[in-house]
Copies of this chain bind each other. A is one copy, B any other.
């Protein structure tokens, strides 16, 4: 032991407060998220993960209890983060629901082009684990997307907003799968065109434009 000391995730500890109870947890989550996303939940062991993110196993286990606990917390945080990210893109797109929908797929399209893109982390996780909590996080995640898309569908005056929203959700998740496993080039734009076509069809043949509100 000639080099102990200097701990806490390599981050300088702010002089105030009690070494931060929640901060360590948040820092672990932030550092572990991209590693677990790239390597896969079962593609890396706790020991290697800890070494990569610079935290001891004891600290990780005290904050998350088990590896599954870490995974669940990570997925939950990631779901909330990307949902908020997409919602902000919609909010920034103005009042026209067509622009809002286009913003969704433009945002996704940028993500697809990212070299680290490996598909939806929540869907990937649910696809490989039977853990009920993981599946629940994924279902909730899709629910968030559905809510966002339902709002767009309603504002667009779709005849059946829940139906259109679910169809758009399929397009979102399908574009993500196709981009991950069959090439990302152009996928965002192709999906955007399809989404706008669906919206036009739903608004045109159904309830027309300018839904009450």
On A, residues with C-beta under 8 Å from B are 39-43, 118-119, 123-124, 126-130, 135, 138-139, 142-143, 146, 163, 166-167, 169-175, 177-178, 180-182, 187, 190-191, 193-194, 197-198, 200-202
Contact = CB atoms under 8 A, between A and B. Distances in A.
A193 B118 CA distance: 29
Contacts of A124: 127-128
Interface of A is mostly: helix
Q: Please give me the 5 A-B residue pairs with the lowest Cβ-Cβ distance, nearest first.
A: A174-B174, A170-B174, A128-B128, A167-B194, A124-B127
A191 B178 contact: no
18 contacts: A42-B128, A123-B127, A124-B128, A126-B181, A127-B128, A139-B181, A139-B182, A166-B190, A167-B191, A169-B182, A170-B174, A170-B175, A170-B187, A171-B174, A173-B174, A173-B178, A174-B174, A197-B201
A178 B194 CA distance: 17
Given A170-B175, A174-B174, A190-B167, A182 B146 contact: yes
Nearest to A119: B127
Contacts of A42: 42, 128
A167 B142 contact: no
Given A41-B128, A123-B177, A171-B174, 7 more contacts: A135-B181, A139-B181, A146-B182, A166-B178, A167-B193, A169-B182, A170-B174
